Amino acid sequence: MREVAGEFPVHSVFHASTPLAVSNFCERDVTEADVAGDAQSAVFILRQALAWLKLAGLSQRHDEHRLHMIVLGTNAFFNEPSEASRIGPSFSPIAGKVAAAAVIERYEDIIREAAPSGGWSPEALRVVVGTEGFCRRGHASPCAPGEAQEPYLHASGIVGSLEALEPLVWGLLAIADNDELGEFRTDLSALLRKYASLQTEVEVVPDRHQRIFGSLAEVSSGHCDVSKGAGDGTSEWCVQTKPCCPISSALDRLNKAFHSRLHVAGCSLLPAGAASVAEAPLLWLGDGLAKWSYLLALDGLAQSCAYVARLVLLNHPVDLLEGLFSAFEATQEPGAVAPRARTPAE
């Protein structure tokens, strides 16, 4: 679906941020009944993914080994590899190969580092799955007591071969179909955590250091302040021995959640201290609790990256943006946020 978040054309930003071929499988054969009923459920999304994987398999040679990346988050964008320069709004001819090589290299590094002492068996099927700093249900709820187990898997990013992705999706659907309590039908991350806890056909390998899938959601140590609506005091964002609280959704904590740990460089978002995109995730995910950090990232990119600026200006009333960021600045301590640039007329 052509998603728009706060008038930001998030689907267009995601598509324009990468030279890799992008296909929106949620647009395939979606009926009015799907949109009205089951279109947001985990089962619907998995069935759409399975149909897309089957089509992708028809176009892939039997002797060809190709990785496929499934991005289920709406608010997402790729960092731009320095080698993949643009020609005007478009990428250079070699950009696709550069981006694909980066995904393959990091995927193989993650798999190699996660290998058991005896190594992977030749028949082992593996996928790399995104992680974040806390355990959540849906977009913005903590996990049930005892459910939080490190590393905290998040289903918004998955990469693997067709041979691994198809049985993974079938396995996830099998768990959902046998879910009499309806615990997993609307929550892909909970479904994935359940799958990873079982002896399954496909090995789920966490992207522990966020080399491929970077999360814009940030946490602080210690329990949440229940009076501010951050959980009910019994549910868990992190394991009991290391309590934590997400802060990316609180406007008064965004200086710590975003500005103190991230900075924009050209068409990329880098962790604090990173000198280049080589030290940053390949792409960023900012759904749910990270939506404000995603908005701040796009605001920064729009000031230094031509393609983001063009998309934002084509789709967004600038005066509304200015009002939103003025409200944000008013919540910060003096000096915590650099003053926004003003035009001469202001």
Q: Tens digit of pLDDT for each residue in 248-305?
A: 888 888 888 888 899 999 899 999 989 888 999 999 999 888 988 998 999 899 889 8
Rounded to an integer, the average pLDDT of 180-197 is: 85
Joined tokens for residue 271: 């962790």
| Average pLDDT rounded to a whole number, residues 172-201 | 86
Residue 210 pLDDT: 96
Instruction: Say what percent of the chain tops pLDDT 70.
Output: 79
The answer, yes or no, to whether residue 39 has pLDDT greater than 60, is: no
- Over residues 2-6, mean pLDDT: 44
What is the token pair recorded at 96? Answer: 């696709």
| Confidence grade of residue 5 (pLDDT, cut at 50, 70, 90) | very low
Question: What average pLDDT does this structure show over 135-145?
Answer: 86
Per cent of the chain over pLDDT 90 is 32
| pLDDT tens by residue, 121-132 | 777 899 999 999
| Per-residue pLDDT at 333 | 65
Residue 346, pLDDT > 50, answer no
Cβ neighbours for 230, distance < 8 A, ≥ 6 positions apart: 224, 245, 246
For residue 324, the model assigns a pLDDT of 64
Residue 325 has pLDDT above 70, yes or no: no
Query: What is the predicted pLDDT for the residue at 2?
Result: 41
Give the pLDDT band (50/70/90) at residue 185: confident
How many Cβ atoms are within 10 Å of 92's Cβ, its own excluded?
13
pLDDT number for residue 1? 37
186 exposure class (CB count in 10 Å sphere: 0-12, 13-18, 19+): middle
Write the CB contacts of 267 (distance below 8 Å, at least 6 apart in sequence): 17, 79, 80, 301, 304, 305, 307, 308
Q: Tell me what the mean pLDDT of segment 315-342 comes to.
A: 63
What's the mean per-residue pLDDT of the chain? 81
Residue 112 near residue 52 (C-beta atoms within 8 A) = no
Average pLDDT over residues 107-119: 90
- Higher model confidence: residue 55 or residue 327? 55
Instruction: Please choose, from the candidates 7, 246, 278, 31, the residue with its C-alpha nearest in 3D space to the C-alpha of residue 140.
Output: 246
pLDDT reading at 327 higher than 80:
no
Q: What digits encode the pLDDT tens for the residues 47-89?
A: 888 988 888 887 776 656 789 999 987 799 999 876 556 655 5
Contacting residues for 143 by C-beta, under 8 A, at least 6 apart: 135, 136, 137, 190, 235, 236, 237
- Contact in structure between 275 and 127 (CB atoms under 8 Å): no
Least confident of 119-133, 185-199, 286-300, 326-340: 326-340
In angstroms, the first-to-last Cα distance of the chain is 38
Predicted confidence at residue 124, as pLDDT, reads: 84
Tokens of 40: 């947001």
Structure pTM? 0.83
Report whether pLDDT(342) > 80.
no
Q: What confidence score (pLDDT) does residue 3 get?
A: 44
Tokens of 187: 């929550």
- So what's the pLDDT on residue 125? 93
Q: Which of 204, 224, 136 is nearest to 164 (CA)?
A: 204
